[in-house]
Amino acid sequence: MLGHKINGDGNKPVDGIFAEWSWDGHTLRVRNDRYGFYPLFYFCVGQEICISASIPALLEQGAPREINRPGLAVFARIGFFVGEDTAFEHIHALPPGATLEWVDGVLRVTGGYLFQKAQDLSRDEAIDRYVSLFKQSIRRRAPLCNDFALTLSGGRDSRHILLELCELGCPPKFCVTVENFPPYPDESATASFLAATVNVKHVVVKQRSRFASEVAKNHVTSFCSDEHAWMVALASYLKGKVHCLYDGIGGDVLSAGLFLNRERLDLFESGRLEDLAGVLMRDFGSMNNLNEAVLELFLTRDSYAKLKPDLATEHLTTELKKHVDQPNPVSSFFFWNRTRREIALSPYGVFASTGTALSPYLDCDLFDFLSSLRSSFFLDHTFHTDTIARGYPKFAEIPYEKDQAAKTVSSHNRIFCGEFLYYLLTCIPKRQHLVRLDYLVPRLAYCLATSEYKPYWPSLPIGLYLYQLGLAIQG
Instruction: Please tell me whether residue 335 adopts helix, strand or coil conformation.
Output: helix
Confidence (pLDDT) at 401: 86
Determine, yes or no, domain membership for 366: yes
Picking from 82, 110, 138, the residue at the C-terminal end of a domain is 110
Residue 95 and residue 30 share a domain: yes
Element (H, E) at 245: strand 244-246
Closest-CA residue to 390 (of 135, 119, 151, 187): 135
* Residue 456 pLDDT class (50, 70, 90 cuts): low
Residue 132 and residue 100 share a domain: no
Determine, yes or no, domain membership for 230: yes
Residues 6+ away with beta carbon under 8 Å from 98: 30, 31, 32, 36, 109, 110, 111
Q: How many helices (H) and strands (E) does the chain have?
A: 20, 13
Domain of 373, CATH number, reads: 3.40.50.620
Residue 369 and residue 333 share a domain: yes
Closest-CA residue to 35 (of 94, 78, 119, 105): 94
Residue 249 and residue 387 share a domain: yes
CA 179 and chain centroid, separation: 18
Residue 250 and residue 179 share a domain: yes
Per-residue buried b or exposed e for 411-436, using 16+ beta carbons within 10 Å of the residue's own CB: eebbebbebbbebbeeeeeeebebbb
Closest-CA residue to 260 (of 338, 330, 355, 165): 330
What does the pLDDT look like over 222-245, one tens digit per residue? 999 999 999 999 999 999 999 999
Query: How far is the C-alpha of 67 from the C-alpha of 299, rounded, in Å?
Result: 14
Partnered with residue 51 across adjacent β-strands are: 42
Instruction: Please tell me whether residue 424 adopts helix, strand or coil conformation.
Output: helix
Residue 169 and residue 106 share a domain: no
Pairing assessment for the beta strands 356-358 and 244-246 based on DSSP bridges = parallel
Counted domains in the chain: 3
Instruction: Please tell me whether residue 151 adopts helix, strand or coil conformation.
Output: strand
Query: How far is the C-alpha of 29 from the C-alpha of 50, rounded, in Å?
Result: 12
Q: Are 164 and 200 in contact (CB under 8 A)?
A: no
What does the pLDDT look like over 58-82, one tens digit per residue? 999 999 999 999 999 999 999 999 9
What is the reported pTM?
0.96
Determine, yes or no, domain membership for 185: yes
Picking from 347, 370, 395, the residue at the C-terminal end of a domain is 395
Query: How far is the C-alpha of 418 from the C-alpha of 423, rounded, in Å?
Result: 9
Determine, yes or no, domain membership for 293: no
Determine, yes or no, domain membership for 248: yes
CA 271 and chain centroid, separation: 27
What does the pLDDT look like over 271-311, one tens digit per residue? 999 999 999 999 998 887 788 988 998 899 999 999 999 99
Determine, yes or no, domain membership for 294: no
Domain of 70, CATH number, reads: 3.60.20.10
99: left (phi over 0), alpha (psi -120 to 50) or beta: beta
Picking from 110, 143, 170, the residue at the C-terminal end of a domain is 110
Residue 205 and residue 348 share a domain: yes
Residue 447 and residue 414 share a domain: yes
Determine, yes or no, domain membership for 38: yes
Instruction: Please tell me whether residue 354 adopts helix, strand or coil conformation.
Output: coil
In percent, how much of the chain has pLDDT > 90? Answer: 81
What is the residue range of 27's domain? 2-110
Residue 227 and residue 374 share a domain: yes
Residue 222 and residue 178 share a domain: yes
What does the pLDDT look like over 380-405, one tens digit per residue? 999 999 999 999 999 999 999 876 54
Whether a cis peptide bond, with omega within 30° of 0, leads into 429 is yes
37 has pLDDT over 70: yes
Element (H, E) at 278: helix 273-287
Residue 78 and residue 153 share a domain: no
Residue 94 and residue 131 share a domain: no
